[in-house]
């Protein structure tokens, strides 16, 4: 099984990736676009971070992880709120 990646909400409200960042965090499968899409679609970020996460924040994670534009043509997130 692959290593996990931690997503944390910074004091500024921005999402960032880092194992040692302070604050609440959510763990994702490393290298798995599907894991990120499922977490966003099912509200896992909102539950883990105890705050709403807008689509743009999830898209920023995709860009940071190099997954933007890698898709089957469908949007994984139907509206602005992903959790």
Identify the pLDDT of residue 74: 32
Identify the pLDDT of residue 60: 86
Identify the pLDDT of residue 67: 65
Domains of the chain, residue spans: 4-65
Identify the pLDDT of residue 21: 92
Identify the pLDDT of residue 6: 92
CA distance 18 to 74: 28
| Entry pTM | 0.69
Given a contact cutoff of 8 angstroms between Cβ atoms, the answer to whether 6 and 22 are in contact is: no
Question: Phi then psi for 25, rounded to 5 degrees?
Answer: -145, 165
The pLDDT tens digits of the residues spanning 25-79 come to 999 988 888 888 898 889 999 999 998 888 888 888 888 877 654 433 333 332 3
Q: What is the DSSP string of 29-79?
A: ETT-HHHHHHHHHTTHHHHHHTS--BHHHHHHHHHHHT-TT-SSSS-S--S
């Amino acid at each position: 099984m692959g290593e996990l990646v931690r997503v944390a909400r910074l004091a500024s409200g921005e999402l960032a990736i880092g194992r040692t960042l302070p604050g609440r965090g959510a763990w994702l499968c490393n290298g798995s676009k599907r894991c990120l899409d499922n977490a966003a679609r099912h509200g896992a970020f909102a539950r883990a971070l105890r705050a709403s996460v807008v689509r743009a924040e999830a898209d920023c994670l995709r860009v940071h992880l190099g997954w933007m534009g890698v898709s089957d043509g469908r949007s994984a997130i139907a509206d602005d709120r992903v959790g």
